[in-house]
Homo-oligomer: A and B are copies of this chain.
Amino acid sequence: MPKIITFGEIMLRLQPENYKRFGQADRFEATYGGGEANVAVSLACFGLDASFVTKLPDNDLGRAAAGSLRKLGVDVSNIAWGGKRLGIYFLEKGASQRPSKVVYDRAGSSIAEAIPADFDWENIFAGADWFHFTGITPAVSDGAAELCRLACVAAKVQGLTVSCDLNYRKNLWSREKAGAVMAGLMPYVDVCVANEEDAGDVFGIKAGSTDVESGTLSREGYEDVAKKLRQRFGFKRVAITLRGSISASDNRWAAMLLDGDNAYFSREYPIHIVDRVGGGDSFCAGLIYGLLTGKDAAAALEFAVAASCLKHSIEGDFNLATAAEVEALVKGGGSGRVQR
């Protein structure tokens, strides 16, 4: 069975119930999530062997975070234990014209203050096929960025495929710093994933004809961005997710994949949103699954988009869809008829 390693931060996610605003909340839904952890969970739910690497505080909250992964079949034996706190993010779910809002409270987390000695990459990567990280992890701290670099080096040494989701977060670092740090990591990356804004935010590469806020999607523009990314960094593959934001309640969702010189565009799904956090992560997991299980580029892309389409209907960061459910959607079953 293919084995995937992902590395990053998992946080406690605190969300007011339903569509309540922060100031109305007298209780928070408590789940766990974070870019690379989300990818590991989705891959485990697809039935692959996924291991998540991070550092967690050795207290009840750190253990609960690990338990949330273990419950879903993610290997947690590579987690380092120690440090001061579990990162937290507060999520206020938006609706209609009111956007979702995230308040990060992750400074000083165990992974942000982790050191190289916490991780024995050679051991961690033994027997593995793929390494995935996102642009959030190097943004967490300089130390975490260095850990990413060390992991990338070790992954390449051991012959793993490396994928990276650019995932720019403006509240964690500036575009300038992101550009500099990420540029240093890209040479190790085989498969680059970005959303419709990331390439521009991080590397200044823009799709001329696309207006993100208006949700207009231009196939040519995205293909152009992907090709420029490939040109600059030599990626084998570049995938871009295409989100058409109609409102916080309704989105259109599609993606493209540049495989060598060939660009593939997926089917587009009109989505009524339950929870869109983790949408990009579920796309990455779907793409990794597709490529690792031998699908061709077009099929892998369709699997990835269908997987992430389903994620939008699932509460929490984690995509709990099975591979069979994704395949059913790919084959046309998007009508939502009761299964009984």
Contacts and interface: CB of A to CB of B under 8 A. Distances in A.
Interface of A: 14, 17-31, 59-61, 63-64, 67-68, 70-73, 84-86, 88, 90, 92, 94-105, 107-108, 169-171, 212-215, 245-250, 269-274, 276-277, 306, 309-310, 312-316, 320-321, 325, 329, 332-340
Contacts of A73: 67, 70
B338 A94 contact: yes
A277 B338 contact: yes
A309 B98 CA distance: 9
A211 to B, nearest CB: 10
B26 A28 contact: no
A273 B96 contact: yes
B340 A104 contact: yes
A248 B99 contact: no
**A contact patch SS:** loop
Given A67-B71, A277-B338, A313-B19, A29 B27 contact: yes
A70 B67 CA distance: 8
A97 to B, nearest CB: 4
A273 B248 CA distance: 11
A105 B90 contact: no
Contact of A339 (B14, B99, B213, B246): B99
Contact of A312 (B31, B96, B104, B315): B96
Contacts of A68: 71
5 contacts: A18-B315, A22-B64, A60-B103, A88-B88, A213-B335
A68 B18 CA distance: 20
A336 B92 contact: no
Given A19-B274, A85-B105, A336 B30 contact: no
Contacts of A92: 60
Contacts of A63: 23
Contacts of A98: 310, 313-314, 321, 325, 336
B20 A313 contact: no
B336 A96 contact: yes
A97 B28 contact: no
Nearest to A309: B97
Nearest to A71: B71
A166 to B, nearest CB: 15
A312 B249 CA distance: 12
A21 to B, nearest CB: 5
Contacts of A67: 23, 71-73
A333 B271 contact: no
Given A27-B28, A336-B96, A339-B100, A22 B60 contact: yes
A272 B313 contact: no
B24 A97 contact: no
Contact of A96 (B105, B271, B325): B271
Q: Which of A24, A68, A86, A333 gathers the greatest number of chain B CB atoms within 10 Å?
A: A24
Given A21-B320, A31-B26, A60-B22, A338 B97 contact: no
Contacts of A314: 19, 21, 98
